[in-house]
Structure 1
Amino acid sequence: MPPPPPSWFPFRQANPQARLRLFCFPYAGGGASIYNTWSAALPPTVELVSVQPPGRERRILEKPVHDIARLVEALEPEMRPLLDKPFVLMGYSMGTRIALALTQRWQARGEPLPLGLVVAAGGAPHMQRMSRGNLNDKDFIELLRAYEGTPAELFAHKELMEMVLPTLRADFALADSVLPATPVRVPIVAYGGLEDSHVSIADLERWRELTTGEFRARHFAGKHFFLRTERVPLLEALREDLTRWAPELAS
């Protein structure tokens, strides 16, 4: 028998009682598993759908995608059957680009939009930035060290690092994507780390330019990966934002 098709949502647990679906997109090098424990901290009527791009975790043997338009085109048909309920998109770092690209695409076609966007640890993607795609392997690995998000044991194993470098490079290409400065008719809340040397508070604030709706910024202690060090306050904020956009979740 042919192998089953790759799953974009390998950890999804269908919730017939759900009033809202929360789609979560990972950071560069991350996979769907980073959101595995979040469901317990969210309202029981929220169905968490963590997204697994190619080239990582259960999709490690697949070729990663460098181009955000191609990624969105492949992902969108998989998401469509799950857009039959109100939904919110949440992206972390690289994932913020995916969330906005999908929303801009749907808005341009006059399709239903998310109730809100949660963008965390990502600078506003309509701002031009220096591409990191031309870095040699040595400099690229030093860049990974500076982010302090890659497990230390990975740097110690040359063969393992060589295996994951293509996915990491593809993810950084996605993270460096510059998207249109087209505002979306969706409220945006931007989460940032006060000690994040890669995304300043000023960079975070420029997400304000990408919505015609409400904009809020939330600041957390910690560096770029504050989703690990500030998990409890982050999830409390997320629960509050979801309930603000969908008050029925509180009942």
Structure 2
Amino acid sequence: MRPAASTNPWFPTRQPNPNARLRVFCFPFAGGGASVYNGWGSSLPAGVELVSVQLPGRERRIMEAPFRQIPPLLDALEPVLAPLLDKPFVFFGYSMGTRVALALTQRWQSRGAPLPLGMVVAAAGAPHRARESRDDLNDAAFIELLRKYEGTPAEVFAHKELLDMVMPMLRADFSIADSVLPALPVRCPITAFGSHTDSHVPMPELERWSELTTSDFRSRHFPGTHFFLRTAREQLLAALREELVRWCPEVGP
């Protein structure tokens, strides 16, 4: 009998795999929900359980207040992650999600807690580098910024009521995405995924993730712009499989 799907609001799409040798926790981009990783589990080795994290303020949690800062988000996230850390694990973060993944790892390293076997960070510059905050943009400028990222569905811009509903969450997510984290290297390996044609993440900024690990660093490049997880999905998943098998050969091919 197939295990029941998760009823935890933080992991709404989780399908428990009692035979898993590894869990992969996936953190979404700004404005994204757990559903952005739908279907990924079937493309990973049989010994992997994919756990897509649903943050407040989106999808089925749209009525909940989103987090604007990383520390309180981690405080809320840690207790729900704790029961799932009984197996080796890997973090995958996309854009904003890379900040959450690194901040968790830095926090756990400072406590001497178990760390991920590795982190895959995609479509984001290294977060210990100062960047201009976008908190002060007025609504018109912020909407134009969203259009340039090409990640918000066109129907959101076409319906003012819908746009008004998601704007607080998007602004909160961009506050997290603009967070500067300590230049504290972690002991687990990091692989950075990026695109040469992503105008939001210049390649030198992607490569500076190498400064945030005392272990192995690799970078891998894909066709497409900032949302290459959509346009180069199969290539990205193939690369992710390779990293998982490299870090945890027990998961199988």
Aligned with 1:191 (options 187, 190, 193)? 193
Residue 115 of structure 1 corresponds to which residue in structure 2? 117
What amino acid maps onto 2:86 in structure 1? D
1:41-64: CA deviation from partner (whole Å, max 9, x where unpaired): 000110000000000001000001
Q: Distance in 2 between matches of 1:14 and 1:166?
A: 32
Matched, 1:9 2:6: no
Is 2:20–2:251's contact at 8 Å kept on the other side of the alignment?
A: no
Aligned with 1:98 (options 86, 97, 100)? 100
Matches within 5 A, 1:23-38: 23-38=25-40
Aligned with 1:226 (options 209, 218, 228)? 228
Matches within 5 A, 1:169-248: 169-248=171-250
Residue 43 of structure 1 corresponds to which residue in structure 2? 45
Q: Distance in 1 between matches of 2:15 and 2:43?
A: 15
1:95-147: CA deviation from partner (whole Å, max 9, x where unpaired): 00000000000000000000000000011000000000110000000000000
Q: Distance in 2 between matches of 1:139 and 1:158?
A: 16
Q: Distance in 2 between matches of 1:44 and 1:133?
A: 42
Question: What TM-score, normalized to structure 2?
Answer: 0.96
Q: Distance in 2 between matches of 1:6 and 1:138?
A: 36
What amino acid maps onto 2:58 in structure 1? R
Q: Distance in 2 between matches of 1:13 and 1:220?
A: 29
Residue 128 of structure 1 corresponds to which residue in structure 2? 130
Q: Secondary structure at the match of 1:96?
A: helix
Residue 160 of structure 2 corresponds to which residue in structure 1? 158
Q: Distance in 2 between matches of 1:11 and 1:250?
A: 23
Residue 73 of structure 1 corresponds to which residue in structure 2? 75
Is 1:6–1:59's contact at 8 Å kept on the other side of the alignment?
A: no
1:20-60: CA deviation from partner (whole Å, max 9, x where unpaired): 00000000000000001101100011000000000000100
Q: Distance in 1 between matches of 2:199 and 2:71?
A: 28
Identical counterparts, % of pairs: 69
Q: Secondary structure at the match of 2:78?
A: helix
Q: CA deviation at 1:6?
A: 6.2
Is 2:17–2:49's contact at 8 Å kept on the other side of the alignment?
A: yes
Residue 139 of structure 1 corresponds to which residue in structure 2? 141
Q: Deviation above 2 Å: which 4+ runs of structure 1? A: none
What amino acid maps onto 1:158 in structure 2? K
Alignment gaps of 5+ in structure 2: 1-6
Q: Secondary structure at the match of 1:189?
A: strand
Q: CA RMSD in A?
A: 0.9
Matched, 1:61 2:38: no
1:152-186: CA deviation from partner (whole Å, max 9, x where unpaired): 11111111100000000000000000000000000
Q: Secondary structure at the match of 1:70?
A: helix
Q: Secondary structure at the match of 2:25?
A: strand
Alignment gaps of 5+ in structure 1: none
Q: Secondary structure at the match of 1:23?
A: strand
Q: Distance in 2 between matches of 1:31 and 1:193?
A: 22
Question: What TM-score, normalized to structure 1?
Answer: 0.97
Is 1:21–1:47's contact at 8 Å kept on the other side of the alignment?
A: yes
Paired residue total? 247
1:168-211: CA deviation from partner (whole Å, max 9, x where unpaired): 00000000000000000000000001210000111000000000
Is 1:188–1:211's contact at 8 Å kept on the other side of the alignment?
A: yes
